[in-house]
Amino acid sequence: MSEAEEEVRGDRNEEEEKKKEKRRRSRKKEKQEQRQVEEEEPRSECVLLRGIFKLGKKSHDVLLTRTRLTWTPIIPETPTGEVCMMQPGVLLLQDVFAVKVKRRRAAGQQSGGAVLGVALFYCRRRGRRLEEDTLHLHNASAEHTHTWYNTLSELLAGLSTRPRYLKVFINPCSHKKEAVHIYREHVAPLFKMADVRTDITVTERKGHALSVMKECKLDEYDGVVCVGGDGSVAELCHALVLRAQLDADSPEDPVKPVLPLGIIPAGSTDVVSCSVHGVRDPVTAALHIVLGHLQDVDMCSFSSHGQLVRFGFSAMFGFGAQSLVQAEKKRWMPSSRRREYALVKTLARLRPEDCQLSFLPAKKSTRERSEHRDQNQDQDSVSEAEESWTTNQGLYLSISVMSIPCLSSHAPRGLAPNTSLANGSAELIAVGNTSRSEFIKHLKRYNSSSGQFSFSFVETHTVSAVRIRPRLLSAWSEEEESEEEQEEGDSKTTPIIQSEGAAFPWNMDGELVEIPNEVLVRVHPRLITLYGEEVDEAESTVSCSCI
Ligand SMILES: Nc1ncnc2c1ncn2[C@@H]1O[C@H](COP(=O)(O)OP(=O)(O)OP(=O)(O)O)[C@@H](O)[C@H]1O
């Protein structure tokens, strides 16, 4: 077997191991959650209310405990003595986001009306999607209905992670300029139903959300919501951490924000939303918010020579940044065409960057260590040993560092499938110099199932810090400038960091950032809390046909 083949096989094994580990962890989490529900059941099993309601046309015996509502059909005896089997039903209160009294009202009647019973609005899972549904419990007794309504309302109010008042930012310019419409159509009705109050800011410019977040009184809110694309999400995540730092008077170290962030996807790719919801769906996102599903998420700080550039989830250097430069020049194009144009153009001009790449391998987290302890003591003591920086110098086509899997409909398993939302580390993917055709093969595999890292020119590492020191800055910028002069002059590119001299482009969470010097990426475990949950794979709805 050749050295290259051995290397590929080694990479494959490592990748398989990481996948197995991820699946094992997710199974363990599911089991733990199941056990938790089962353990909680006996404590809360005592029946708070019992009554008769009609569900559909049939009478049911309905029981309410602290955690669930169960109903069993009441079957009248038949003259023949035949027993008719009917299924009982159960609804967990953790899935219910609103309860209302149902009344009969004439058209145009605003209040009053005869009581019909209670309606429970709950969330149903269809794959990764969350959908709204209603359970109608009919009983015409006003007293009976109000007793049930009051008890159910009290139980729902006791679910502590659910927000009551949210600060909402809407970027009206995101993607197809549909964010306001998406919010009004799909999100506001759910918030209203769940009695969640909102304070809305429709942003007027880049940086508007950041300046509001720096000034506003945050303690009255239970969470912040962003309606927009990845750029808006990145701005708000950055703003939340900066604000927490300011409040804690901690200029050096990042501080975990108290408020969670909810993301209503309204962009073209929405990788952060996809990574915590598994789908790009405003209803799923809104239901995660009203039900208070909280997920801690690792973040990175990106800095250059001790100067913070921003906090975020992903940074790409080389191909990922160069294609964003191309895409930003054609902002007027529909997003799928723009993405394909940028890919093709960047591939046509494919060139490696000469740089020094250093990384600090991630230590195993305490949790992982305790999981492994029984299995392999020796391996454990090795992983506890002090880790140190590894440095390589060479030509790279692309370098990416991602603290979340970056799922999207284009890459359902994610751009960084070997990391997870809260494992305390990031995935470094460094693609060395190779031919265009080999590089295209590597890219294509993101769209299919796997194997994108099974190439001798691709290396992946689980890291806690990365330093990228580009070389030959002047050569790159001169070449780029002459190319710029040939462009049609339709660029709307406005990098958020502008330097007087030449600089390298970076793609940081889908935003173009120019940095003249080295960049240091540091992972900050569980720095932010998002509304959502860990998902393995995103729904795939599109495929790229251009490569
Ligand atoms: N009113 C506004 N006008 C122009 N830019 C805005 C406005 N409000 C916010 N922004 C900025 O627009 C940038 C891009 O926003 P966003 O990511 O939501 O849209 P997008 O780029 O169209 O989406 P995607 O990144 O998914 O293609 C963000 O940096 C945000 O700060």
pLDDT of residue 500: 46
* Cα of 507 from ligand 1 centre, angstroms: 14
Q: How confident is the model at residue 498 (pLDDT cuts 50, 70, 90)?
A: very low
Between 262 and 325, the higher pLDDT residue: 262
* Cα of 530 from ligand 1 centre, angstroms: 20
Counting from 1 in the atom list of ligand 1, the atom nearest the Cα of 171 is: 8
Mean pLDDT along residues 371-399: 65
**What residues does 311 pair with on adjacent strands?**
301
For atom 11 of ligand 1, which residue has the closest CA?
Answer: 206
* Cα of 171 from ligand 1 centre, angstroms: 6
Q: How many CB atoms lie within 10 A of CB 440?
A: 15
pLDDT of residue 329: 85
Question: Is the per-residue pLDDT at 51 higher than 90?
Answer: yes
* Cα of 328 from ligand 1 centre, angstroms: 12
Most confident among 11-15, 272-276, 386-390, 408-412 (mean pLDDT): 272-276
pTM assigned to the model: 0.83
For atom 13 of ligand 1, which residue has the closest CA?
Answer: 231
Question: Is the per-residue pLDDT at 371 higher than 70?
Answer: no
* Cα of 244 from ligand 1 centre, angstroms: 23
**What residues does 323 pair with on adjacent strands?**
none
Return the best residue to mutate from 173, 236, 237, 406 for the ligand 1 pocket (most ligand atoms within 8 A of CB): 173
pLDDT of residue 141: 93
For atom 14 of ligand 1, which residue has the closest CA?
Answer: 231
Question: What amino acid occupies position 486?
Answer: Q
The token pair that represents 485 in the structure block = 């002069």
Residue 21 backbone dihedrals phi, psi, to 5 degrees: -60, -40
**What residues does 521 pair with on adjacent strands?**
302, 466
pLDDT of residue 30: 57
pLDDT of residue 445: 84
**What residues does 120 pair with on adjacent strands?**
99, 135
For atom 3 of ligand 1, which residue has the closest CA?
Answer: 205
Angle between helices 335-348 and 319-329 (to 10 degrees): 130
Q: Which residue has the tokens 């959650």?
A: 33
For atom 12 of ligand 1, which residue has the closest CA?
Answer: 206
CA trace torsion 253, 259, 260, 263 (10° rounding): -100
* Cα of 104 from ligand 1 centre, angstroms: 45
Counting from 1 in the atom list of ligand 1, the atom nearest the Cα of 204 is: 1
Q: How many CB atoms lie within 10 A of CB 2?
A: 8
pLDDT of residue 83: 60
Question: Is the per-residue pLDDT at 307 higher than 90?
Answer: yes
Question: Is the per-residue pLDDT at 485 higher than 60?
Answer: no
Mean pLDDT along residues 284-306: 97
pLDDT of residue 262: 98
Question: Is the per-residue pLDDT at 375 higher than 50?
Answer: no
Between 467 and 413, the higher pLDDT residue: 467
Question: Is the per-residue pLDDT at 169 higher than 80?
Answer: yes
pLDDT of residue 475: 41
Q: How many CB atoms lie within 10 A of CB 318?
A: 27
DSSP H helical segments within 335-491, as ranges?
335-348, 366-373, 377-384, 436-447, 473-486
Kindly list the distances between the CA atom of residue 499 and the CA atoms of 327, 478, 479, in Å, as whole numbers in the listed order: 21, 15, 18
* Cα of 313 from ligand 1 centre, angstroms: 17
Mean pLDDT along residues 393-412: 93
Residues framing ligand 1 (Cβ under 6 A) = 171-175, 203-206, 208, 228-232, 235, 267-270, 335, 510-511
Between 482 and 420, the higher pLDDT residue: 420
Q: How confident is the model at residue 258 (pLDDT cuts 50, 70, 90)?
A: very high
3-state helix, strand, coil in the chain (%, to 5): 35, 30, 35
In the chain, % of residues over pLDDT 70: 78
* Cα of 274 from ligand 1 centre, angstroms: 17
Return the best residue to mutate from 206, 323, 331 for the ligand 1 pocket (most ligand atoms within 8 A of CB): 206
* Cα of 280 from ligand 1 centre, angstroms: 17
For atom 29 of ligand 1, which residue has the closest CA?
Answer: 231
DSSP state of 426: E
pLDDT of residue 19: 60
Q: How confident is the model at residue 491 (pLDDT cuts 50, 70, 90)?
A: very low
* Cα of 172 from ligand 1 centre, angstroms: 8
Question: Is the per-residue pLDDT at 52 higher than 80?
Answer: yes
Q: Which of 170-184, 310-324, 440-454, 509-523 has the lowest mean pLDDT?
A: 440-454
Q: How confident is the model at residue 487 (pLDDT cuts 50, 70, 90)?
A: very low
For atom 2 of ligand 1, which residue has the closest CA?
Answer: 205
pLDDT of residue 86: 64
Question: Is the per-residue pLDDT at 365 higher than 80?
Answer: no
Question: Is the per-residue pLDDT at 294 higher than 90?
Answer: yes
Counting from 1 in the atom list of ligand 1, the atom nearest the Cα of 207 is: 31
Q: Which of 191, 207, 205 is nearest to 290 (CA)?
A: 191
Q: What confidence tens digit (pLDDT) does each residue in 95-136 have?
A: 999 999 999 988 888 788 899 999 999 999 999 999 999 999
Counting from 1 in the atom list of ligand 1, the atom nearest the Cα of 268 is: 26
Q: How many CB atoms lie within 10 A of CB 180?
A: 16
Counting from 1 in the atom list of ligand 1, the atom nearest the Cα of 267 is: 26
Q: How confident is the model at residue 376 (pLDDT cuts 50, 70, 90)?
A: very low
Return the best residue to mutate from 168, 174, 509 for the ligand 1 pocket (most ligand atoms within 8 A of CB): 174
Q: How confident is the model at residue 43 (pLDDT cuts 50, 70, 90)?
A: low
What whole-number distance in Å separates Cα of residue 284 and Cα of residue 278?
Answer: 9
Most confident among 2-6, 441-445, 473-477 (mean pLDDT): 441-445
Report the mean per-residue pLDDT for the chain: 84
* Cα of 460 from ligand 1 centre, angstroms: 31
CA 299 to chain centre: 12
What whole-number distance in Å separates Cα of residue 401 and Cα of residue 521?
Answer: 8
Question: What amino acid occupies position 228?
Answer: G
* Cα of 237 from ligand 1 centre, angstroms: 14
pLDDT of residue 419: 93
DSSP state of 403: S
Are residues 231 and 267 in contact, defined by beta-carbon separation less than 8 angstroms? yes
Tell me whether strands 197-202 and 165-170 are parallel, antiparallel or unpaired: parallel
For atom 27 of ligand 1, which residue has the closest CA?
Answer: 268
Between 136 and 453, the higher pLDDT residue: 136
DSSP state of 94: G
pLDDT of residue 21: 65
Most confident among 64-68, 74-78, 538-542 (mean pLDDT): 64-68
Return the best residue to mutate from 168, 170, 171, 264 for the ligand 1 pocket (most ligand atoms within 8 A of CB): 171
* Cα of 511 from ligand 1 centre, angstroms: 9
In the chain, % of residues over pLDDT 90: 61
* Cα of 336 from ligand 1 centre, angstroms: 17
Name every residue whose Cβ is closer than 8 Å to that of residue 351 and which is 6 or more positions away in sequence. Answer: none
pLDDT of residue 387: 66
* Domains along the chain with CATH numbers: 44-75+86-105+112-157 (2.30.29.30), 161-292 (3.40.50.10330), 298-365+385-526 (2.60.200.40)
pLDDT of residue 8: 45
